[in-house]
Structure 1
Amino acid sequence: MTSVPHPPASSADPAGRDSGAGAAPGAGSALYTRIGRKLKQEIVSGVYAQGAYLPSSGELGKLYGANKNTVLRALRMLRAEGLIDFGRGRGAVVVHSARKVGLAEISEQLRYVVNLADVSGISRAAVVAAIHRIPPSQGPRPAGALPAAAARRGRAGRTAFRPHGRGAA
């Protein structure tokens, strides 16, 4: 799994502040909803691909001018949609990217991996062998399904985020 650098800033941020002309989109909705929509747009557009880690909730809070609890509420919204999975100490990982990619984009990513391997002294044959060892994808996971690492640990290893005042599920 890979980490993706912070996305470039747009003219309107999720906090509703607009650095360009015109009104900020979604200015009438809650901040966590706007942050969630922005992150979802970035996942769908490929800024965060399947398997990529989102920045920490603290980093996202600084990026979007929100406190950590507001960011966590947005992340829970995306988890309910089946786009990400996260837990305390594990970070938020994209489990389903709605965007389909073409062979040209995959080739570009492979070119990057091969160049990185060349610079690191790893043979192309070793890269190809590593690709062959990767198990085939099972396709998109249903919402609430555990990622492979969490499934190997079992449900007991998973920390659930529950807001205060709600009953146990």
Structure 2
Amino acid sequence: MLFRVDPASPQPLGDQIAASVRRAIAEGEVAPGDRLPSARSLADSLGVNVHTVLRGYQRLRDEGLIELRRGRGAVVVGDPGAGGLAALMLRVRELVADARELGLTEEEVVRLVRRGLG
């Protein structure tokens, strides 16, 4: 699995790491039961702080995509293509990334979402 981060991106590095894992899960590169690299080894390979990796992993845990197990590390448990909140969060993150590329402000994105709800 290939992790990529762009320090020049406005997206926080932890979010970029989480996005790499989401993409790998969505594309079938990793599956439930697969272990992710340890936070320390991934931090070393990317040249980032271990806490940055842990923030990305914690975001994925909160979305129900991985479990963080003491002694076993990060293990994939969910599939964002399977539906539910994890799938919705994946689409929200894609929306936010697209909005950033277009240079939209947070307020403009919220207005668009509200218009879509109406």
Same-fold call, TM cutoff 0.5 = yes
1:141 is displaced (CA, Å) by 9.6
Q: Which has the higher contact order (CA 8 A, sep 6+)?
A: 2
Structure 2 letter corresponding to 1:65? G
| Aligned-residue offset at 1:47 | 1.6
Q: CA deviation at 1:63?
A: 2.7
Q: How far apart, in 2, do the equivalents of 1:51 and 1:70 lie? A: 23
Contact map agreement 1:32 1:71 (CA 8 A) in 2: yes
Residue-pair matches, total:
86
2:49 corresponds in structure 1 to 67
Normalising by structure 2, we get a TM-score of: 0.62
Which stretch of structure 1 is more off in the superposition, 61-70 or 47-56? Answer: 61-70
1: CA distance, partners of 2:79 / 2:49: 26
Structure 1 residues without counterparts, runs of 5 or longer? 1-6, 18-23, 101-139, 144-169
Partner of 1:57: 39
The answer to whether the 8 A contact 2:32-2:76 is kept is yes
Q: Is the helix fraction higher in 1 or 2?
A: 2
Task: State which structure, 1 or 2, has the greater radius of gyration over its C-alpha atoms.
Answer: 1
Structure 2 CA distance for aligned equivalents of residues 53 and 69 of structure 1 = 19
* Structure 2: tracts of 5 or more residues without a match: 87-118
Calculate percent identity across the aligned residue pairs.
37
Q: What's the secondary structure of 2:78's corresponding residue?
A: coil
Report the alpha carbon displacement of residue 98 of structure 1 after superposing the two structures with TM. 2.8
Q: Structure 1 residue runs of 4+, over 3 Å off?
A: 140-143
